[in-house]
Structure 1
Amino acid sequence: MAVSNVLLTGGNGFIAVHILSLLLQHGHTVTTTVRSESKTTHLRKIFAAAVSSGQLKFTIIEDMTTQGAFDRVIKDNSFDAILHASSPVVFNVQDTERDVLQPAIKGTTGILRSAKEYGPTIKRVIITSSAAALASVGDSPTHVYTENDWNPVTYEFAVKNPQVAYSASKTLAEKAAWEFIEHEKPGFDLVTICPTMVYGPVLQEVTSLDSINASSLQFYQVFNGQNNELKPFGVWLWVDVRDVAIAHVAALEKPEAGGRRFPLAEGNFNIGQLAEYIWTHYPERAKAKGIPRSTPTSGYPPEGVYTADTDASKSILGIEYIKFEDMLKDQLAQFVVLEKKLEETR
C-alpha cells in the first residue's frame, strides 16, 4: 500500500506511540483517537511538526465500547486503513466482564462494523492482538507457537476466573474479528499482530516510573531493587516495542500480509539475564540496590520453555529483530534519564 490516510486507535499507548512515530516517518497521514483532549498534549509536543502540517490529527473517543463510537470519524475521513491498537488495560478490575472482556470485544467488533458501514475506501484493518491469543496452559512446556495456535479459553471461563481476563480479552476479541471477516465479508482484509512480552524504550508520557506501562515497570522494579528476589515474570518470550511498530507499519504497506496472523518474538529470556546485565553495566547501582546476581528461580524452569515460529514476520514483514542486550542497553539508559528528569521536576 502506498502512502495512506490511516486511522490509529489509542495513539497515546506504549506500543501505539511507536506505531504513530513510524507511520509519520513513512509519510502516512494519521488521525489518532485518544480518550480525552488532555491525552493529546504530549503527542502534540513530540510530533509538533506533523501536527502543524496537518499530517497528524486527533479525535476524542471517550468510550470505544459505545455503539457507533467510530462512526463519525470514519464517515468524515476517507481512510485507506485502520490500525486498531487500543485495548483496555485495567489494573483494578471490579467486574471482569464489564471492565475487560466487553470493552475488548465491543471495541474490536465496533470498529469493524463502522469500517464496513461507513468506510468504502478502507482496504485493510490491522489489529494489535497478543501472543496470549495463541497460548494454552495445556500445551507442552516446549511447545513451538505458530499462527495456527489459539488459546482455547472461553468467555464463560474468563468471567469466573479473573486471572485469565487479559489473555481471554485478547483471544476473544481477535476471534471475533476473524469471525466478522468470515461472516460479513467486508471490502477490506484483516491482519493481526501477536507480540509476546513487549519491552524497550518508551515514547509515551511518563509522569512517574511507578505508573509507567506494565512491562517497563517489571524491568524497572528489578533495576530499582524492588524485585530483589528476582521473581520470574512468568513469560519466556519477548520482543522490542520498536519491532512491534515495524510489524504494524509493514502490515499496512505490504499487500502480501493480508489475511495473516503474525506472532512476534526475538527469542527467550529470563530475569536472571536482566540481573546479570545490570551487574555488568551498572555494578555500583546493583550493589547499592541489593540486586542479587541470581536466585534459584531466576533462570529457566527445568522442564524447558516454549518458543515461537516467527519466520513469517521476517520473510513477509521484513523484521530483523533487535537483540535482548541492545534492548536492555536502551531501556535501562532511559530509566536513568527518566529518574533524573523526574527528580528535577519534583
Structure 2
Amino acid sequence: MTRILLTGGSGFIAAHVLDALLHRGHSVVTTVRSEEKARKIRDSHPDVPKDKLDFAIVEDIAKLDGNYVARNNCLAHPMATCSNNWLIGYKYIYIYIYIYIAFDEAVIADPPFEIVIHTASPFHFRADNNQTEYLDPAINGTVGILRAIKRSAPTVKHVVITSSFAAIIDAKKPPTYKYSEADWNPITEAEALLNPIYGYRASKTFAERAAWEFVEKEKPNFTVTTINPPVVLGPVIHHVDSFATLNTSNERIRDLITGAAKHSCPPTGTYLWVDVRDVALAHILAAEKQKEAANQRFFVTAGNFSNRQVAGIIYEEFPQLREKLPVEEEALKPGDFPAEGYSGFDNERSREVLGLEYRSLRQSVVDTVKSLLEIKE
C-alpha cells in the first residue's frame, strides 16, 4: 500500500484516478475546495475507511496570501525564499509564497506521503479573464505543489502531473503533422490573453514548462512525470448536478443525445482522443513505475476520431436516441474529418514504458452515454 496525495479530487479525471487508486489498495488523501465537495466524494465511496480515503481543503490555489511585500520581483515574507525570476518569462515570483502556504498542510500527513498526483487545473472555455481563470490557477498550482513538497514533504519520491496535448500542439504545424512527447506548444504570453482556447492552451503549456524548470533549477529529491492527453471522453463518475456542469470534453456527447446538435453536428476541434479510464491508469502506472517513468512526458492518446464517428456509434448502439441525432449529410458534415487532413500521433512511449492498452472509441462512447443517461436533469 502506498500513501498518495491527489489534488483536485472532485474533477472528471481525478475521480477516475481516485477510484482506480482505491481499487488497487492505495491510501489516498485528496484535496478539494470545500467540505461539501469532500462529503460528495465520501458519499460515493461509503465503504472506504478514513485511513484509506481522507480529505484536505484547499479553497483557492490561485489566491495570493495577504502577508507579502513585493521588492524587485521578489517577496519579503517570513516563510519565503526568493530567487531570480526563472518562470519562463512569467513575472510572478510571488507564486512561491501563497502556494506554499496553500498546500503546506495538505502535503503533510501521518503516515507521510510517498507519491503526489496533481490534477487540479481549470478546463473549460468560458473564461472572462484568462489571467485569473486559466493562467494563475494552472501555473500557481503546479509550481506551488512542487515547492510545498520540497519544503514540507521529504518522503515524497515521485510526482505525477496532469498536463495536456494543449502543451504539445502547435497551431502553426501542418494539419497532418505527427505529434509526440518531443513537441511543445510555442504559444506566447501575448497570445495567451487573446481568447479562452489560447488561454487554456497557454495555461497547460506554461504550467508544464514551469514544472520542468523547477526540477532543473531546484533539484528536488523527487522525480516528476507529466501525462499529456488530448480530448478525454468517458463515463462520468464524479458528482454532477446537471448537464450544465458536465466536463467540457463530454459536452459534445451531451449535445448529441439531447438533440441540441440534431441540425448540426458540433465540430470536433482536436481529432485525437483518449478514454478517461486510460488517462487515470496512466497516472497510476507512472506512480507505480516511477523509476521507468521518472522525468518523462507521456502523450496518452488512443488515436484519431471525429464527432461524426461519435454520432454514428450512438445511432447504432442507442436506437431510442436516434430521433435526437444529426442524420442528414449536411447536419453531419461539420463534425467530420477535415479535407485537409488531421494530426498524426506517436503513443509508443505510453505503450512501451507504462504498458497502456487503449480502449476503443465505441466502448468509450457507449459507456459515456450510459453514464449521462443516469444524470437527472
Give the TM-score normalised by structure 2: 0.86
Assess if the C-alpha contact under 8 Å between 1:263 and 1:313 holds in 2: yes
| Residue type at the aligned position of 1:317 | L
Give 2:313's aligned residue: 277
Q: How does 1:133-212 map to 2 (within 5 A)?
A: 133-212=167-246
Deviation at 1:59, TM superposition (A): 0.7
Q: For residues 290 and 162 of structure 1, do their structure 2 counterparts lie closer, same or farther at Cα, with a shift above 3 Å needed? A: closer
Deviation at 1:212, TM superposition (A): 1.2
Give 1:258's aligned residue: 294
> What is the aligned-residue identity percentage?
41
Q: For residues 89 and 278 of structure 1, do their structure 2 counterparts lie closer, same or farther at Cα, with a shift above 3 Å needed? A: closer
| Number of residue equivalences | 336
Give 1:334's aligned residue: 371
**Mapped partners of 1:81, 1:6: distance in 2:** 5
Mean Cα deviation higher: 29-38 or 87-96: 87-96
Select the residue among 124, 134, 156 that pairs with 1:100. 134
| 1:86 and 2:120 are equivalent in the alignment | yes
Stretches of structure 2 lacking an aligned partner (at least 5 in a row): 65-97
Give 2:354's aligned residue: 317
Stretches of structure 1 lacking an aligned partner (at least 5 in a row): none
Assess if the C-alpha contact under 8 Å between 1:276 and 1:293 holds in 2: no
Assess if the C-alpha contact under 8 Å between 1:191 and 1:258 holds in 2: yes
Assess if the C-alpha contact under 8 Å between 1:272 and 1:293 holds in 2: no
**Mapped partners of 2:362, 2:325: distance in 1:** 22
**Mapped partners of 1:90, 1:231: distance in 2:** 16
| 1:74 and 2:111 are equivalent in the alignment | no
Q: For residues 296 and 218 of structure 1, do their structure 2 counterparts lie closer, same or farther at Cα, with a shift above 3 Å needed? A: closer
| 1:243 and 2:260 are equivalent in the alignment | no
RMSD: 1.5
Q: For residues 40 and 290 of structure 1, do their structure 2 counterparts lie closer, same or farther at Cα, with a shift above 3 Å needed? A: same
Deviation at 1:92, TM superposition (A): 4.0
| Residue type at the aligned position of 1:61 | V
**Mapped partners of 1:28, 1:261: distance in 2:** 23
Q: For residues 208 and 137 of structure 1, do their structure 2 counterparts lie closer, same or farther at Cα, with a shift above 3 Å needed? A: same
Q: Deviations over 1:231-262 (max 9, x none)?
A: 21211000000000100000000020111100
Select the residue among 43, 52, 59 that pairs with 1:62. 59
Mean Cα deviation higher: 63-72 or 289-298: 289-298
**Mapped partners of 1:81, 1:221: distance in 2:** 38
Give 2:79's aligned residue: none
**Mapped partners of 1:145, 1:210: distance in 2:** 33
**Mapped partners of 1:38, 1:337: distance in 2:** 22
| Residue type at the aligned position of 1:335 | L
Q: Deviations over 1:83-102 (max 9, x none)?
A: 00000235542321122111
| 1:231 and 2:266 are equivalent in the alignment | yes
Select the residue among 39, 42, 46 that pairs with 2:40. 42
Give 1:296's aligned residue: 333
| Residue type at the aligned position of 2:298 | F
Assess if the C-alpha contact under 8 Å between 2:115 and 2:159 holds in 1: yes
Assess if the C-alpha contact under 8 Å between 1:108 and 1:177 holds in 2: yes
Give 2:253's aligned residue: 219
Give the TM-score normalised by structure 1: 0.93
Q: Deviations over 1:131-180 (max 9, x none)?
A: 01000111111111111100001223212444400010000000000000
Assess if the C-alpha contact under 8 Å between 1:141 and 1:303 holds in 2: yes
**Mapped partners of 2:325, 2:196: distance in 1:** 34
Secondary structure of the 2:232 match is strand
Mean Cα deviation higher: 308-317 or 173-182: 308-317
**Mapped partners of 1:116, 1:87: distance in 2:** 20
Q: For residues 293 and 332 of structure 1, do their structure 2 counterparts lie closer, same or farther at Cα, with a shift above 3 Å needed? A: farther
Give 2:85's aligned residue: none
Q: For residues 163 and 18 of structure 1, do their structure 2 counterparts lie closer, same or farther at Cα, with a shift above 3 Å needed? A: closer
Secondary structure of the 2:122 match is coil
